[in-house]
Amino acid sequence: MSFWHALGQTLRGAAEGFIRTGKQIMGASAQVIRKVVETARDSLDEVVRRIQRARGDANSEKEVVERQLQEVNARIARLRKNHQQNGALTGREQEEWKRLKARRDQLIDDLQNLDTAEFAQDVVDEASEYKTREVTEADAHLIDMVTGQSTYGKRCRACSRAMVLQWERRAAAPSLRDFFWGCSGWYVKLANGRSACTHTERLADADFRIFANVKRPEFQVTATELSRRVLDPGRQKRLREALDGIREQNRTSSVGISQYRCPVHGESLRLRRKNATADELLDEYFLGCPQWLPERLGCNFLIKLKSPGRISAVISEGYGQDAMKVLDA
Ligand SMILES: [Zn+2]
Ligand SMILES: [Zn+2]
């Protein structure tokens, strides 16, 4: 583990003070940007080269780590089952439980480092495309698209777990004032069924200043235009086909959509579709944890694709630069 530990230390040092959500940095002051570009060019660039020399590309390495994580989670689930059946764990099982939990934390850490390395790689490769942008109501979708995605560098004041961008559930197409930071401890259920933490925070003005690759398709449209495209009844068939394509890929691959991870198990989420066929595309699909089991026996963490931004974000992850072709015409 020494290689990953060293990598983690370097990245953490370099990325201190940044809030990264998915593929963008929030709260980007000129000073922060200078630091990002500098560190990306120097230390992070070097780290990425080291990964490539030592281990091949970050993507396949992520797959290896993710598979190890799945194994660890499966073993933890087996111990939980033993506990339920026998009322207690044996001394040896307790030892194993502790070891597995520590191993899981380590693997989740490795995945976060790999995600950061990948982001750094993109900043280095596409330096001229990275710009700061002040998000206004007209492009509220830029925030909507990263809601539910893994966030680094934004910790809960109450419990220090990672915070995740959310929006007021009543809003169909969220506007800027509907967004807030919610603690990921909300999804961690205690024995009494309550959430481990329910802390929320409003977004600071600075959070609307983002640093991102503006070549990405979503930067070419307004929030209104994106909503129109996603909600247009004439496009629903095409969008469902596109989403089903991603769903099929998630089903057969050992990795899901890596911008979204379960806050408990750390695994990348998989795109799924509700059994009941809805008339409307909103709320028909969701991202679920691979540790899900029927009858609430497994992990119930899920992210509903209930807004045009979230649907576009998943299509964007699945199709990259071709995402707008799916949403076009
Ligand atoms: Zn918290
Ligand atoms: Zn989970």
59 lies in some domain:
no
Residue 227 lies in a domain: yes
Cβ-contact 192, 4 below 8 angstroms = no
Beta-bridged to residue 179, according to DSSP, are: 167
What spacing in Å lies between the alpha carbon of 204 and ligand 2's midpoint? 29
Q: Which ligand is nearest to the CA of 157?
A: 1
For residue 251, tell me if it sits in a domain: yes
Q: Which of the ligands is closest to the CA of residue 261? A: 2
Q: How far is the CA of 98 from the centre of ligand 2 (A)?
A: 18
Picking from 201, 35, 257, 79, the residue whose alpha carbon sits closest to that of residue 25 is 35
User: Helix axis angle, 91-125 relative to 45-55, nearest 10°?
Assistant: 120
Q: Are 309 and 303 in contact (CB under 8 A)?
A: no
Q: Which ligand is nearest to the CA of 260?
A: 2
Nearest ligand by distance to the CA of 69: 2
Give a yes or no: residue 314 inside a domain: yes
Rounded distance from Cα 168 to ligand 2 centre (Å):
23
Q: What is the residue type of 80?
A: R
What 74-81 contacts at long range (C-beta under 8 Å, 24+ apart), as own/partner pairs, is 75/100, 76/100, 76/101, 76/104, 77/291, 77/298
Mean per-residue pLDDT for 49-69?
75
Ligand 2 centre to CA of 38 (Å) is: 36
CB atoms within 10 A of CB 161: 18
What is the CA(300)–ligand 2 centre distance, in A? 7
Decide if 199 contacts 162 (C-beta within 8 A).
no
Look at residue 164 and tell me if it is in a domain: no
| Residue 108 falls inside a structural domain | no
Q: What SS3 class is residue 292?
A: coil
Answer whether residue 195 is part of any domain. no
User: What secondary structure, in 3-state letters, does 7-76 show?
Assistant: HHHHHHHHHCCCEEECCEEECCCHHHHHHHHHHHHHHHHHHHHHHHHHHCCHHHHHHHHHHHHHHHHHHH
Q: Which of 306, 317, 256 is nearest to 278 (CA)?
A: 306
* C-alpha triplet 281, 282, 284: angle, nearest 5°: 65
Please determine, for residue 6, whether its predicted confidence score (pLDDT) is greater than 70. Answer: no
For the chain, counts of helices (H) and of strands (E): 10, 12
Residue range 297-313: average pLDDT? 89
Contact 305, 282 (CB under 8 A): yes
User: Which ligand number lies closest to the CA of residue 201?
Assistant: 1
Domain tally, the chain? 1
Q: Look up the domain containing 272 and give its range.
A: 221-321
Which pTM does this prediction carry? Answer: 0.88
263 Cα to the center of ligand 1, angstroms:
12
**Tens-digit pLDDT profile for residues 66-122:** 999 999 999 999 999 999 899 999 999 999 999 999 999 999 988 888 887 788 778
C-beta separation of 316 from 217 below 8 A: yes
What's the CA-to-centroid distance between 219 and ligand 1, angstroms?
Answer: 32
Quick check: 104 and 76 in contact, CB under 8 A? yes
pLDDT digits (tens, 9 = 90+) for 178-225: 999 999 999 888 888 899 999 999 999 999 999 999 988 889 899 999
- Token pair listed for 120: 């750094």
What is the per-residue pLDDT for 1?
45
Q: Which ligand is nearest to the CA of 268?
A: 2
Residue 258 in any domain: the answer is: yes
Alpha-carbon gap, residue 82 to 236, rounded angstroms:
46
- Residue 249 is predicted with a pLDDT of 94
